[in-house]
């Protein structure tokens, strides 16, 4: 089993050094032992855990969900239903954000479609941003 310095663990996992420290503070990663020179030393399991966390973050999972998934991963014989439920909740959140972004896109296209050019005094973009009543509907984050 190999030991990694924090810089090596960061490079091999794709997680920044400061983020590794943050994950340690949050309890997602155990604080590692230190070398005689007082350097943190991570084992291969810690680097694999960092990769897991990074991949979960890339998929948009929040830290509480990642903590739950890591706990589940530590019990390989347990049923997968809890992990499925966490992933289903994340999928629902992604779908909600897609709907929101689609509405934002439509509103921006509508603003731009109302004619361009001319003076700022007659600019539909400026007019819409200055007065929400010019918008087709609500588009703030629900």
pLDDT for 91-112, tens place per residue?
999 999 999 999 999 988 888 8
Which parts of the chain fold into alpha helices (H)?
6-13, 17-26, 44-58, 63-73, 81-113, 124-130
Structural domain including 84 reads: 80-142
Q: Are residues 122 and 103 in the same domain?
A: yes
Q: What sign results for the dihedral spanned by CA atoms 30, 93, 142, 127?
A: positive
Q: Are residues 56 and 105 in the same domain?
A: no
As a whole number of Å, the end-to-end CA separation of the chain is: 48
Q: Are residues 62 and 94 in the same domain?
A: no
Domain termination residue (choose one: 78, 106, 122): 78
Domain termination residue (choose one: 78, 98, 129): 78
Q: Specify the number of domains making up the chain.
A: 2
Tell me how far the alpha carbon of residue 45 is from its chain's centroid: 22
What would the mean pLDDT of 72-87 be, rounded to a whole number?
94
**Predicted confidence (pLDDT) per residue in 3-62, tens digit:** 999 999 999 999 999 999 999 999 999 999 888 888 899 999 999 999 999 999 999 999
pTM of this structure: 0.81
Q: Are residues 67 and 87 in the same domain?
A: no
Q: Are residues 64 and 122 in the same domain?
A: no
């Amino acid at each position: 089993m190999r030991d990694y310095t924090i810089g090596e663990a960061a490079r091999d996992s794709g997680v920044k050094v400061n983020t590794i420290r943050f994950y340690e503070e949050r309890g997602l990663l155990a604080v590692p032992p230190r070398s005689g020179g007082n350097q943190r030393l991570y084992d291969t399991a810690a680097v694999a855990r960092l990769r897991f966390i990074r991949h979960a973050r890339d998929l948009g999972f929040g830290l509480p969900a990642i903590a739950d998934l890591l706990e589940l991963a530590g019990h390989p014989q347990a049923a997968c239903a809890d992990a499925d439920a966490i992933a289903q909740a994340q999928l629902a959140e992604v779908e909600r954000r897609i709907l929101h972004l689609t509405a934002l896109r439509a509103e921006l296209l509508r603003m731009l479609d109302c004619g361009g050019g001319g003076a700022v005094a007659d600019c539909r973009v400026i007019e819409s941003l200055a007065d929400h009543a010019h918008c087709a509907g609500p588009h703030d984050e629900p």
